[in-house]
Structure formats: C-alpha cells, structure tokens
Amino acid sequence: MRVVSLVPSLTEAVAESLPGVLVGATDWCVRPAGLEVARVGGTKNPKVEKILALGPDLVVANEEENRTPDLDALREAGVEVLVTEVRDVPQAFAELERVLHACGAAARPRWLDEAEAAWAAPVGLSRRTTAVVPIWRRPWMVLGRDTFAGDVLARLGVDHLYAGHAERYPRVPLEELTAAAPDLVVLPDEPYRFTADDGPEAFPGLPCALVDGRHLTWYGPSLAEAPRVLGAALRAALR
C-alpha cells in the first residue's frame, strides 16, 4: 500500500500506525518528527503531478482542509481519494478508524484506544465558561458553528460565544469580540501563531489561555493527551 496524505493530523496518524505506508505528505505535515517522505506542496495547493508521480494507491484528504478541484484532478487521473469530514470528537474517532482501515491496518492502534478512553470522561473546568476563540487576526476570525475545535472545548467546559453563528469561521471586529464580554479568550498557536506577545494585548482585562493548536484542532495521536494538556491550560488562565 502506498499512501499520500494531504492532512497533517492524518499524516501523523498513518505514519505512527503503519510505518512505511506513507510515501508523500504536504509541507505542513510536521509530525511525527523526522518524517522522511516526498513533499507535495501545501494543503490548499498540492502539486497534483508530483502526487501522481509517486504512484499512490490512496490519497487521504479532508473536506475542510483540501480543495475539491485538486481532489477531482486526482480522481480523474485514476487515483482513489478518501475524503474525511470531522466536526466533533466522536466523528474524529470514526474517521480515523476508517482511514487506517483503508490504509491497510489489520487492527486498531493502541493510541486510538487510549484517545477514546481519555475523551470518555475528560477533566475540564469546574464550571461552564464562555469564551471567544480567535484563529486569525488582521482580520480577526473566530470559531463559529459546527467545528471540531468547538466541540473539543465544549467537552472541556468551554462554550464559545459564536457557536450559533451562520458561518463556521466568521470575521468579527475586535470591538465586538471584547464587547461580548467572555469569561475567557482562547488563543491557539495555529493557524495564526498567537503568543504571549501577540494576542493577549488585544483583550485587556480578560484572561487569555494560550493553547497548543495541535491539541485543539488535530485529530490523531495527539487526541490521547489533548484533554489533559488543554484542560491544564484553560484552568491556569482562569486562576
């Protein structure tokens, strides 16, 4: 089996579970560390010809991270493409199992069992807490409806204020975000790299939780430790 992954979290999942199966991945696929496979461009602009030259039996993709024209071009060239949809934690587990099975896994990897156990009863905040969750600035964009990251936070006791917005990643002026008066601002380090010096200063007087974007948005081996790591960061910000 020869697999090309166009999704960083799926790259990590396949590489950790089925060593040697992955032959190509995007430039953004940085996990596991030291992964040595052909690089095929970005998630939004993969080099289709380079993918085809690798002779993959399967390309794994995601409906949100990858563009339909690129996936259609691969299909038209005769390549099987598996497209995942992940909007919440249970769906992540189901899609991971589907991807690994399609890639030739004979059994569930241990990390997947550990991740499901970790999310069966995650230790989050002691009380429900409201938040805004910026994912970009200039312009400011936040989590909206129907997102995996939003579901992750909800399971840890965080209700983000734009969960009912018509858009999944709405642009919202900073003045509106601060006027919403959330209990907490959650600032991940991807896709925009918020840091202690870039982000919290925009929300004076509000507690800010700087969190690892991989634990918030990736669905793969990181899910096993995500409840513990994210929960600790959220609790620390509210002390």
CA 108 – CA 97 distance, rounded (Å): 7
Would you give the distance in Å from CA 232 to the centre of its chain?
A: 19
Partnered with residue 25 across adjacent β-strands are: 5, 39
Neighbours of 169 (CB within 10 A): 17
43-67 pLDDT tens trace? 999 999 999 999 999 999 999 999 9
What percent of the residues of the chain are helix, what percent strand, and what percent coil, each to the nearest 5?
A: 35, 20, 45
pLDDT digits (tens, 9 = 90+) for 131-149: 999 999 999 999 999 999 9
In this prediction the pTM is: 0.94
How does strand 184-188 pair with strand 134-136? unpaired
Residue that the structure tokens 């993969």 belong to = 46
Q: How far apart are CA 210 and CA 55, in angstroms?
A: 41
Q: Are strands 141-142 and 134-136 parallel, antiparallel or unpaired?
A: antiparallel
